[in-house]
A and B are shown apart, each in its own frame.
Chain A
Amino acid sequence: MFPILEAEFLAPEIKRFVIEAPRVARKRRAGQFVIVRLHERGERIPLTIADGDPERGTITLIVQGVGKTTKLMNLLEAGDAILDLVGPLGSPSDVRRYGTVVVIGGGVGTAIAWPTARAMKQAGNRVVGIVGARSRQLVLLEPEMRAICDELEIVTDDGSSGRQGVVIDPLCERIMRGDRIDLVLAIGPVRMMQAVAEMTRPSGIRTIVSLNSLMVDGTGMCGGCRVSTRDGTRFACVDGPEFDAHAVDFDTLARRNRTYRDSEAAALEAFRADPNSALAQVRHSCRLEPTHPPEEAASR
């Protein structure tokens, strides 16, 4: 069991958790993720590690409620626990001194981009942040991003914060102006990352994306997360989740992510109709006896 020490909403449907997982906290590096299973009947889902404190033995996860499991997780509070949590998984971000790094976060992607942006800053890069959201209240981690970015631009679909538009607008301007950009890191919805890739492709600006493919085990044994790239088939859980954006086949990724759309919709509908019975599953798992009571294990 992995106890939840802190839980707070950062925005509607977006919650930040601090979870006790000492081994993961000690090892994790920017760009890596964990797989969690909330309860005995739960599915395994991947979540990026947003932050960690090795001294305290904790990691931070930022979760957007989009389907049954994430919405259920966002009902959990400090004092609850997660049944299974495994990691850190995936390859860490390739953090080096590139020069000027533009970090683009779309929606909850900002939370995924933030740890890498911070590592890039610490590695001596000039970091330009572009944070996009549908509206003001969905803008994530603004103070955190401001603290590590040399420049930060906020973009909202409705113009309720920063400029009105989409995240590729400021990127486009910078490229047109001929601003120096040595690396672009873009994390967000598939179509956003695809748009960024197309924007930087003509000028050959090195562009990295973090792919959100479907996963089961997260350790390379099933290939469910496979991604079609210029260099052949890659598994996002071990070879990624970060890839060269110009090598990725985004249309295939978008299609693969829709494989279980009907089941996902059905599960969400059932959850909406009766969230409490799902919540009871987690709370039940929370109180489970250890499989092998300590006194028995000690009598060996």
Chain B
Amino acid sequence: MSANPLPPKQRTKIPRQEMPEQQAAARRRNFDEVNRGLTVLGASTEAMRCLECAKPACVSGCPVGVKIRDFIALITAGDYLGAAAKIREDNVLPAITGRVCPQETQCEGCCILGKTFEPLGIGHLERFVADYEREHGELGLPEIAPPSGRKVAIIGSGPAGLSAAGDLVRWGHAVTVFEALHEIGGVLVYGIPAFRLPKAIVRHEVEALARMGVDFQANVVVGKTVTIDELMDEEGYDAVLVATGAGLPKFLGIPGEHLPGVSSANEFLTRVNLMHANEFPSYDEPVFDCRGRDVAVIGGGNTAMDAVRTACRLGARRSLLIYRRTEAEMPARVEEIRHAKQEGIELLTLANPVAFLSDDEGFLAGVRCLRMELGQPDASGRRSPVPIPGSEFEVPVAMAVVALGTGANPLVQSSTPDLATDPRGYIAADPETLRTSKRGVFAAGDIVTGAATVILAMAAGRRAAAAIGEFLESGAWIDAEAVG
């Protein structure tokens, strides 16, 4: 039954409610969140735009299958906590996905309104209900089944691990999540900056999982502190999920990459996001002093965008993004590029670094680049950049951050010889069941697929949870030959 009093024609006449934003001039020097969130009025107005399709395409566009039409209807009815609980049936991190999902290519990209009008602001509404329950100190938690007597170990507390933990604990299994760092959340705490995802929000979502019964153990490096075999043989875990992500930074392999002043995006962002280096000396971890200096970030994805906007906030005089294709090919979200430009980030496109240059003291002084032009489309369908001979030029910078993507960290695999990997070092897992070559061990998220998005990792975590649940019920481990 619909609580929406408007006939469909009138719903389409309501304009999409805009997300209030912090002014660019102020936010470019602080780490407060850029998007301020919809008001109650804004959210209920936006919710009224939903056409309540009989077969909602938005749901099929959501990697974890959130019951979008149903939670929107609960917003229209004014039941915000009910809406949050409805989302949590499928998505344990709504305040996070509402902020960082690329909705334009997922749920909102499938919204029927988008064919003629602006699509429904599904991400903004998801974020609204999650924020509402947090701000009101109440939590819409789903029901927990009675204890099953089964123990599951999850390695890695990023989006895939957390999402799997949410499902498994709901079904009554005892779940322990092991994390190598001192804080829970993986890329949510060390990678995504506070101006996109405040850390208190991650802590709140983790707290919700703890309240559901998930046991979190930080400072445990599986492969070093304890091995998978020890977890299964000595500590009595019935199943293990490897969700360690793709955290191994890639470098360019060009001269000068070892100069002080050159770092990976992982290092730069970890210092600021996890270690609060932007608050040095109130926090002890230092970060390169960007104040009044020129900084270049190399890459065109969301991580590059996060790094260059972070450098700007650390006081850089010039914050420059160097990308070898054009803006149209950038993998970063359109919203992030727009925000970055408003903040004064400069884009230097069709340029490819070939060397880092040193000053007399051996510190970074600049980047030498080659101009590029676009050639034929490559395997990914994007036009390949081709260097223009003799087009070398130099950009003076005091710091450079390399954000070219990440690969598979080998710690778990190298300590588990019977765990099959692919040639690039990712764990081989059946795409359907996420079973690995080792009985009782599953793998999900970036450690299987390579670096992807938060929500795709969460979807993989859910699939793994379902497969683990089935394995714990039946005890059957079949079609191992299909793996690896």
Residues of A within 8 A of B (CB): 23-24, 27, 37, 41-44, 68-69, 83-89, 216-217, 219-224, 226, 228, 233, 238, 249, 252, 255-256, 258-260, 262-264, 266-267, 270, 291-292, 296-297, 300
Residues of B within 8 A of A (CB): 144, 147, 169, 174, 180-182, 207, 210-213, 215-216, 218-221, 224-226, 247-249, 251, 253, 257-261, 263-264, 266-267, 270-271, 275-276, 280-286, 288-289, 362-363, 409-411
* Contacting pair B247 A41 (CB below 8 A): no
**18 further contact pairs, Cβ within 8 A, besides A41-B276, A224-B263:** A23-B220, A24-B225, A41-B282, A43-B285, A86-B182, A86-B219, A87-B221, A87-B225, A89-B224, A219-B180, A222-B266, A223-B251, A224-B267, A233-B251, A255-B260, A263-B289, A291-B207, A297-B215
Partner of A296, one of B211, B264, B281: B211
Number of residue pairs A-B, CB distance < 8 angstroms:
137
* Contacting pair A221 B249 (CB below 8 A): yes
A89-B221 CB under 8 A given contacts A219-B180, A221-B249, A267-B284: yes
- Give Cα A117 to B412, complex, Å: 29
A-B residue pairs in contact (CB < 8 Å), sample of 9:
A23-B225, A86-B181, A219-B221, A221-B247, A260-B286, A263-B289, A292-B210, A296-B211, A300-B147
* Contacting pair A223 B264 (CB below 8 A): yes
A291-B210 CB under 8 A given contacts A88-B224, A217-B180, A267-B281: yes
Question: 8 tightest CB-CB pairs across the interface, nearest first?
Answer: A300-B213, A263-B286, A222-B267, A259-B260, A43-B284, A221-B247, A43-B285, A84-B182
* Contacting pair B211 A226 (CB below 8 A): no
* Contacting pair A221 B266 (CB below 8 A): yes
Residues of B within 8 A of A266 (CB): 281
- Give Cα A238 to B412, complex, Å: 12
The smallest C-beta distance from A211 to any residue of chain B, in angstroms, reads 13
Output the residue of A85, A221, A264, A270 with the most chain B CB within 10 A.
A221
Closest to A215 in B: B267
Residues of A within 8 A of B275 (CB): 43-44, 216
Residues of A within 8 A of B207 (CB): 291-292
A217-B283 CB under 8 A given contacts A88-B225, A256-B260: no
* Contacting pair B284 A69 (CB below 8 A): yes
The smallest C-beta distance from A22 to any residue of chain B, in angstroms, reads 10
The smallest C-beta distance from B425 to any residue of chain A, in angstroms, reads 12
* Contacting pair A219 B249 (CB below 8 A): no
Residues of B within 8 A of A222 (CB): 249, 263-264, 266-267, 270
- Give Cα A27 to B220, complex, Å: 12
Interface of A is mostly: mixed
Partner of A220, one of B210, B226, B411: B411
- Give Cα A258 to B259, complex, Å: 10
Residues of B within 8 A of A83 (CB): 182
Output the residue of A258, A270, A292 with the most chain B CB within 10 A.
A292
A216-B270 CB under 8 A given contacts A23-B220, A267-B281: yes
- Give Cα A84 to B181, complex, Å: 9
* Contacting pair B248 A220 (CB below 8 A): yes
The smallest C-beta distance from A160 to any residue of chain B, in angstroms, reads 35
The smallest C-beta distance from B252 to any residue of chain A, in angstroms, reads 11
Partner of A87, one of B210, B218, B224, B251: B224
Partner of A27, one of B224, B257, B259, B263: B224
Closest to A2 in B: B219
Residues of B within 8 A of A260 (CB): 286, 288
Residues of A within 8 A of B264 (CB): 222-224
The smallest C-beta distance from B92 to any residue of chain A, in angstroms, reads 15
* Contacting pair B226 A23 (CB below 8 A): yes
Residues of B within 8 A of A69 (CB): 284
Closest to A266 in B: B281
Residues of A within 8 A of B182 (CB): 37, 44, 83-84, 86
- Give Cα A259 to B363, complex, Å: 8
Residues of B within 8 A of A87 (CB): 221, 224-225
* Contacting pair B270 A221 (CB below 8 A): yes
A68-B258 CB under 8 A given contacts A221-B249, A222-B267: no
Residues of A within 8 A of B218 (CB): 84
- Give Cα A43 to B266, complex, Å: 16
* Contacting pair A300 B267 (CB below 8 A): no
The smallest C-beta distance from A214 to any residue of chain B, in angstroms, reads 9
* Contacting pair A233 B409 (CB below 8 A): no
Closest to A69 in B: B284
